[in-house]
Each structure stands twice: as C-alpha cells, then as structure tokens.
C-alpha cells in the first residue's frame, strides 16, 4: 500500500470535473460501497488500490462532500481558501498553503 499524496487540510481540485475543496479524511484504499463504485462510468472509473479522499467540495453552484480517488486530484492551494461552510467547523484556518485542524498546533 502506498502513502497518500494528500493530507487532511490540503486544498485540491478534481482533474476531470469542475470542483475544488479541502481534504477532511483519507482512506488508504477504496472504502465505499460497490454500488457507488459501479455507478461511475467504466471509462473513468478509478482503481480501488489507491488512497481515496473525503473532500469538502464546492463548485460555482453549491457546496457538498465528495469521495475522490487520488488519481483524480491535483493540488490547488494557489487558488486560495475554500468557501465551504463546514470548513470553519473543522479547521482553524487557512495559512496560504493548507488548512489546520481545530485543536492542532501548526
């Protein structure tokens, strides 16, 4: 099993779809339902043997949570903080590079 590329607090964007967000949890490998995985079109379905990330996601219309494979994420801290309303509940703030969890020292 390989080490996760992204960590809790990292700001990321999706490689294929127009959304970005902040990582709030990491699964070392796929840990969702088979039904969820099979609902993804086969031509873009990610491998299961990689880290998957729980992301407080946003696009131009809405905020939501997303479950995203590592192969489909890119770093995006340069675009600034996210506006997801749950970010202030989980994180103390954005330092220009990443978010810090509440209760964690920098």
Q: What is the pLDDT of residue 103?
A: 82
Rounded Cα–Cα distance for residues 80 and 78 (Å): 5
**Cα-only R_g, the chain:** 14
Mean pLDDT of 36-57: 96
Residue 19 structure tokens: 């959304």
Cα 81 to chain center, whole Å?
A: 13
33: pLDDT strictly greater than 60: yes
Rounded Cα–Cα distance for residues 95 and 106 (Å): 10
**Angle at 63 (CA atoms; ends 2, 106), nearest 5 degrees:** 55
- pTM, to two decimals: 0.93
Pairing of strands 52-58, 63-69: antiparallel
Q: How many CA atoms lie within 13 A of 98 on its CB side?
A: 13
Q: What is the pLDDT of residue 1?
A: 59
Cβ atoms of 58 and 84 closer than 8 Å:
yes
């Amino acid at each position: 099993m390989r080490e996760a590329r992204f960590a809790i607090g990292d700001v990321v964007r999706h490689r294929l779809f127009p959304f970005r967000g902040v990582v709030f949890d990491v699964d070392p490998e796929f840990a969702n339902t088979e039904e969820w995985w099979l609902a993804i079109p086969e031509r873009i379905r990610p491998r299961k043997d990689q880290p998957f990330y729980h992301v407080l996601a946003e696009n131009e219309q809405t905020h939501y949570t997303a479950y995203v494979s590592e192969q489909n994420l890119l770093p995006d801290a340069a675009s600034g903080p996210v506006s997801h309303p749950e970010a202030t509940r989980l994180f103390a703030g954005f330092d220009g590079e990443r978010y810090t969890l509440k209760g964690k020292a920098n």
